[in-house]
Amino acid sequence: MRKEISPLDGRYADKLGELAELFCEQALMRRRCFVELAYLEALADTGRFFALDAAERAAIRKERESFGDRDYENVKRHEARTAHDVMACVEHLRERFPARAEWVHFALTSEDVNNLAYSLIFREYAERLQRPLLESVIRKLLELAERWEAAPFPAKTHGQPASPSTAGKELAVFAARLARQYGQLKAFRFRGKLNGATGNWSAFAAADPDFDWIAFSRRFVESLGLEFNPTTTQIEDHDAWSEWFSIVRRANVILLDLDVDVWEYVSRGYFGQRKKAGEVGSSTMPHKINPIKFENSEGNLVLADSLLSTLSERLCHSRMQRDLSDSTVVRNVGVALAHSHLAWQETLAGLGRIELDAAACRAELEREPQLLAEPYQIVLRRAGRKDAYDQLKELTRGRAVALDDFHRLLDACGIDESLKARLRALDVPGYVGLAPRVCRAALTAAEKELES
């Protein structure tokens, strides 16, 4: 029986299988070998060192695309001897292509391979799994916001009753915030370097002083779909990784805010949750349907952002040209992103189960007539009653009031009858201002961000 230290590899493994394939040790070795072989071809393409015939190119490309279990086992066999994971990949490839052994890893330092391999892994995750999942969360919010665009909804400031909103507008706020982060994720580009042991192309220039190695490196890095970073020490600075982590962290903070708010709305009865056959909410209280998706998401977001914060800071530091403190740290990027990914899945699942209890929302609003103090004092002040705020404060603050109390106050005010009629027509559920319009505009903007 397999035993796991992390719940990511145990309890949650079924939800994170694709991430495991991307961030496992074998995937890293595969990407390292991919970079080495792509570089071997690029070196041949310069026409300055050696030429590859059609059969060799076909063999190289087949090897690039077919790295499997046996290849990985062979790399690990070499690593057991070399105690160096990149050199283990190099030895593996030299065995595969003995006629070109001297050109494998030619003039490179390990970090040339590592930074490119990791960035390719991160980019694949971001494009293939991360962005589509975030888009699904946003689209679910847009769906719910559109459905409840005009549905009156209790609002709280400082935990106290405040001017009402609509359920759609409150969810549209989160859709708009997440859409901005989605746009930044979509525009983000990973970076890479290929410049040797101390970032000066020294070995390259020694091999061929007349060749434009900087232009060659730029072409090679960009051919991998990465931005070229020409000015580094031995290591690529990883500032771009930190920027990416920061975008993910902001999305996580927004989702944490959403989780907590929806949890509160469920606990107050504004939202109900559809029951799931066979599910148990308590070992002793049969009635319970717990908001566990939002709770699970919250816990995983806290873990993810703690790790991403550490990664953002640690990976941008290196003692002088190079030290290995980042080596073990970067291997945990997959852990941080897995907690984040799991949280996004849980939030999406939670949103799929909630239903607005419109009657409960309306009933709560109708129990809070004091919320009309705001429109009353504003309209009265516009009509010239300078003491309107103080009058409404005296009427409502810390007191139980009814609509009749507001109407009696109006009767004592010498204002235009049309204004009195407009105020008398107000009720709390209808006092939502421009919330539906705000909601529609936010939905349009978010949809545009997703489609751009």
Question: What is d(CA 108, CA 299) in angstroms, rounded to the nearest whole number?
Answer: 42
pLDDT of the residue at 318: 77
Beta bridge partners of 160: 157
Question: What is d(CA 41, CA 61) in angstroms, rounded to the nearest whole number?
Answer: 9
pLDDT, greater one: 3 or 242: 242
pLDDT of the residue at 365: 97
Give yes or no for a contact between 226 and 215, defined as CB atoms under 8 angstroms apart.
no
pLDDT of the residue at 1: 66
The highest-level CATH class for domain 110-362 is mainly alpha
pLDDT of the residue at 281: 59
Radius of gyration of the CA atoms of the chain, in A: 30
- Using alpha carbons, list the distances in angstroms from residue 194 to 93, 125, 370: 19, 22, 67
pLDDT of the residue at 316: 73
Global confidence as pTM: 0.93
Residues 6+ apart with CB under 8 A from 109: 196, 197, 234
Question: What is d(CA 394, CA 342) in angstroms, rounded to the nearest whole number?
Answer: 51
Q: What are 380-421's pLDDT values in tens digits?
A: 999 888 899 999 999 999 999 999 999 999 888 878 888 889
Catalytic residue, chosen from 6, 223, 267, 282, is 282
What is residue 163's three-state secondary structure? strand
**Angle between helix 292-314 and 239-267 (nearest 10):** 160
Question: What is d(CA 101, CA 443) in angstroms, rounded to the nearest whole number?
Answer: 57
Beta bridge partners of 272: 355
Sign of CA dihedral 322, 327, 333, 336: negative
222-226, 275-279, 351-355, 364-368: least confident range = 275-279
Q: For residue 25, which phi and psi values (nearest 5 degrees)?
A: -60, -40
21-35, 132-146, 274-288, 405-419: least confident range = 274-288
SS3 labels along 113-162: HHHHHHHHHHHHHHHHHHHHHHHHHHHHHHHHHHHCCCCEEEEEECCEEE
| CATH code of the domain made up of 7-103 | 1.10.275.10
Which DSSP state fits 155? E
407 tagged catalytic: no
Range(s) within the chain of domains with CATH label 1.10.275.10: 7-103
Question: What is d(CA 241, CA 317) in angstroms, rounded to the nearest whole number?
Answer: 12
Residues 6+ apart with CB under 8 A from 417: none
Range(s) within the chain of domains with CATH label 1.20.200.10: 110-362
pLDDT of the residue at 284: 59
pLDDT of the residue at 10: 85
- Using left for φ > 0, alpha for ψ between -120 and 50, and beta otherwise, residue 201 falls in left
Range(s) within the chain of domains with CATH label 1.10.40.30: 369-424
Half-sphere exposure of 88 (CA within 13 A, CB side): 21
Does an H or E element contain 227, and which?
Answer: strand 227-228
Catalytic residue, chosen from 158, 283, 287, 418, is 158
Q: Which residue has the tokens 């409404």?
A: 392
Question: What is d(CA 449, CA 438) in angstroms, rounded to the nearest whole number?
Answer: 17
CATH 1.10.40.30 fits 369-424, yes or no: yes
pLDDT of the residue at 176: 98
Give yes or no for a contact between 255 and 302, defined as CB atoms under 8 angstroms apart.
no
92 tagged catalytic: no
Flag whether pLDDT at 306 surpasses 60: yes
Sign of CA dihedral 387, 388, 390, 395: positive
Q: Label residue 286 by pLDDT band (50, 70, 90).
A: low
Q: What are 123-166's pLDDT values in tens digits?
A: 999 999 999 999 999 999 999 999 999 999 999 999 999 999 99
Give yes or no for a contact between 109 and 196, defined as CB atoms under 8 angstroms apart.
yes
pLDDT of the residue at 433: 96
Beta bridge partners of 152: 166
Q: How far is CA 121 from the centre of its chain?
A: 16
Q: What are 88-131's pLDDT values in tens digits?
A: 999 999 999 999 999 999 999 999 999 999 999 999 999 999 99
Q: What are 328-339's pLDDT values in tens digits?
A: 888 899 999 999
Q: CA-based angle 220:223:227, to the nearest 5?
A: 85
Mean pLDDT of the residues in the chain = 93
Beta bridge partners of 356: 271
Give yes or no for a contact between 383 and 415, defined as CB atoms under 8 angstroms apart.
yes
Question: What is d(CA 316, CA 322) in angstroms, rounded to the nearest whole number?
Answer: 11
Report which of 369, 422, 155 is spatially closest to residue 270, judged by C-alpha positions: 155
Give yes or no for a contact between 160 and 370, defined as CB atoms under 8 angstroms apart.
no
Residues found in the chain: 452
Q: For residue 398, which phi and psi values (nearest 5 degrees)?
A: 75, 15
